[in-house]
């Protein structure tokens, strides 16, 4: 009888968690097409009339990215006009958190100076950028965009076929959704406003698309382990990563020797991108031991159970989506998209998410 009550209780708890997961992530319906697997923006530097343009410099903002060319007779000006209208739907405070970037795939005719003049016909703070043919091929490939330079006519004029969707990059530098050509500005601004307010974790974004699968976080954080992990963290990790796990504010900046300062371990960092076994290995073996700033090895200092306690404590700062992602509970729902959905996250960098 006791086992029956336990089974019934577990079933009830599971049902409640499903309901909570559905209510938390399943109710928002985006107007844009949400990618099942967010894609990290590439470390490519383009050129504008104001200087270099790197996607990394817009961390903390949403970025609306569009590929085209200034000689486009219809699609490009229509898309940029729609982006202007979508931006006008936002409050001034919201608009400062969104950046529009127009990347030309026709560098032979579109100089950075010409691009600057072109985009300012739509809005003063729009950015026009381009690069070498090789750089353009790299960046379009990374975002799943296509273009084709057509043969010139007798006067040397030519057209360029190109994809017409607008790419949305989130605050953390991930391509998470796109808007098809002709999406009403009010619908675009509604999605932007929601993301600015809620800042969804990457691992939960797939739940907000046209189709979704409610996710239940089955991670059990034992209170005694959390308490023990907090003590261990404060004695072994806090001196580098901070008592609040916030890390060094400049953790994303690459130093002269190629190393990084200690990153955050809370939900604002990327520790949850790593599997639990990877985290354990990093803590045991250390990372970048050949550099002046490095993550020391703790295999001779901490027992396995102590490392597990520390990880349990760290996880108390992650939200349900991040916990699900790290523990592999995320189930992808098949969804039509023009962008490759199996692009893996980049390999771990020197910004190592470990105590």
Tens place of pLDDT per residue across the chain (355 aa): 545 444 445 445 444 444 444 344 444 678 888 877 778 888 888 999 988 999 989 988 999 999 999 999 889 999 999 999 999 999 999 999 999 999 999 999 999 999 999 999 999 999 999 999 899 999 999 898 999 999 989 888 899 999 889 999 998 888 888 999 889 999 999 999 988 988 664 444 444 443 333 344 445 678 888 888 999 999 999 999 999 999 888 888 878 887 888 999 988 888 887 888 888 999 999 988 888 888 999 999 899 999 989 998 998 888 776 776 677 654 333 333 333 333 333 343 333 334 4
- Together in a domain, 192 and 285: no
pLDDT, residue 9, reads: 53
Answer whether residue 54 is part of any domain.
yes
Answer whether residue 334 is part of any domain.
no
Answer whether residue 47 is part of any domain.
yes
pLDDT, residue 24, reads: 42
pLDDT, residue 179, reads: 92
Q: Is 94 helix (H, G, I), strand (E, B) or coil?
A: helix
- Together in a domain, 94 and 241: no
Helix, strand, coil fractions of the chain, as percent rounded to 5: 40, 15, 45
> Buried b / exposed e across 61-95, counting CB within 10 Å, b at 16+?
ebbbbbbbbbebeebbeebbebbbebbebbeeebb
- Residue 157, number of CB atoms within 10 A of its CB: 10
- Together in a domain, 49 and 77: yes
Long-range contacts of 157-165 (CB under 8 A, 24+ apart): 159/71, 159/73, 160/68, 160/69, 160/71, 160/72, 160/105, 160/106, 162/67, 162/68, 162/69, 162/72, 162/75, 162/105, 163/67, 163/338, 164/68, 164/75, 164/79, 165/338
pLDDT, residue 33, reads: 85
Q: 149 — phi, psi (to 5°)?
A: -85, 120
CATH number for the domain that contains residue 97: 3.40.30.10
- Together in a domain, 64 and 151: yes
The whole model's pTM is what? Answer: 0.53
- Together in a domain, 110 and 137: yes
Q: Is 54 helix (H, G, I), strand (E, B) or coil?
A: strand
pLDDT, residue 223, reads: 84
- Together in a domain, 174 and 232: no
pLDDT, residue 34, reads: 82
Out of 208, 231, 266, pick the residue that ends a domain.
208
- Together in a domain, 147 and 258: no
Match 């490009």 to its residue by tokens. Answer: 76
List Cα–Cα distances, 85 to 68, 95, 115, 168, 183, in angstroms. 18, 11, 20, 16, 11
pLDDT, residue 48, reads: 92
User: Residues 177, 206: contact at Cβ < 8 Å?
Assistant: no
- Together in a domain, 190 and 232: no
User: Residues 199, 171: contact at Cβ < 8 Å?
Assistant: yes
pLDDT, residue 220, reads: 65
User: Residues 315, 233: contact at Cβ < 8 Å?
Assistant: no
CA distance 137 to 119: 22
Our count of domains for the chain comes to 2
Q: Which of 217, 196, 170, 176 is nearest to 319 (CA)?
A: 217
* Length in residues, the chain: 355
Answer whether residue 126 is part of any domain.
yes
- Together in a domain, 267 and 322: yes
139 membership: H or E segment, kind and range: helix 133-143
Answer whether residue 306 is part of any domain.
yes
Which tokens sit at 70?
């200034």
Answer whether residue 202 is part of any domain.
yes
Q: 51 — phi, psi (to 5°)?
A: 125, -165
User: Residues 64, 85: contact at Cβ < 8 Å?
Assistant: no
User: Residues 170, 35: contact at Cβ < 8 Å?
Assistant: no
- Together in a domain, 196 and 235: no
Answer whether residue 2 is part of any domain.
no
pLDDT, residue 29, reads: 76
- Together in a domain, 169 and 283: no
List Cα–Cα distances, 254 to 132, 210, 250, 260, in angstroms. 25, 38, 9, 5
CATH number for the domain that contains residue 300: 1.10.760.10
Determine the structural domain holding residue 55 and report its residue range: 33-208
Out of 183, 208, 233, pick the residue that ends a domain.
208
pLDDT, residue 37, reads: 72
Answer whether residue 23 is part of any domain.
no
List Cα–Cα distances, 1 to 4, 12, 13, 15, 84, in angstroms. 5, 17, 18, 21, 66
For residue 127, the cross-strand partners are: 101
- Together in a domain, 173 and 104: yes
Q: Which of 54, 27, 29 is nearest to 43 (CA)?
A: 54
């Amino acid at each position: 009888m006791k086992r029956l009550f336990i089974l019934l209780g577990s079933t009830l708890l599971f049902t409640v968690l499903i309901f909570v997961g559905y209510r938390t992530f399943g109710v928002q319906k985006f107007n844009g097409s949400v990618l099942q697997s967010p894609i990290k923006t590439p470390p490519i530097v383009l050129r504008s009339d104001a200087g270099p343009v790197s996607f990394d410099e817009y961390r903390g903002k949403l970025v609306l990215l569009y590929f085209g060319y200034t000689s486009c007779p219809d699609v490009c000006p229509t898309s940029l006009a729609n982006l202007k209208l979508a931006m006008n739907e936002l409050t001034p405070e919201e608009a400062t958190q969104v950046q529009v970037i127009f990347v030309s795939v026709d560098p032979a005719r579109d100089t950075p100076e010409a691009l600057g003049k072109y985009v300012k016909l739509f809005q003063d703070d729009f950015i026009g950028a381009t690069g070498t043919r090789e750089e353009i091929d790299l960046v379009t490939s990374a975002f799943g965009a296509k273009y084709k330079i057509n043969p010139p006519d007798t006067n040397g004029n030519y057209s360029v076929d190109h994809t017409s969707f607008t790419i949305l990059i989130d605050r953390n530098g991930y391509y998470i959704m796109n808007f098809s050509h002709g999406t009403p500005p009010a619908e675009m601004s509604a999605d932007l406003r929601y993301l600015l307010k809620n800042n969804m974790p990457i691992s939960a974004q797939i739940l907000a698309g046209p189709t979704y699968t409610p996710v239940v976080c089955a991670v059990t954080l034992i209170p005694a382990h959390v308490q023990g992990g907090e003590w261990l963290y404060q004695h072994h990790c806090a001196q580098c990563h901070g008592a609040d796990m916030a890390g060094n504010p400049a953790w994303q900046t690459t130093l002269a020797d190629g190393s990084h300062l200690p990153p955050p371990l809370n939900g604002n960092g990327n520790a949850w991108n790593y599997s639990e076994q990877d985290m354990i290995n990093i803590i045991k073996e250390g990372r970048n031991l050949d550099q002046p700033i490095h993550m020391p090895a703790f295999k001779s200092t901490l027992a396995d159970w102590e490392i597990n306690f520390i990880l349990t404590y760290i996880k108390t700062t992650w939200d349900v989506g991040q916990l699900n992602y790290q523990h592999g509970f995320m189930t992808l729902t098949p969804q039509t998209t023009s962008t490759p959905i199996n692009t893996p996250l980049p390999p771990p960098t020197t910004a190592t998410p470990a105590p």
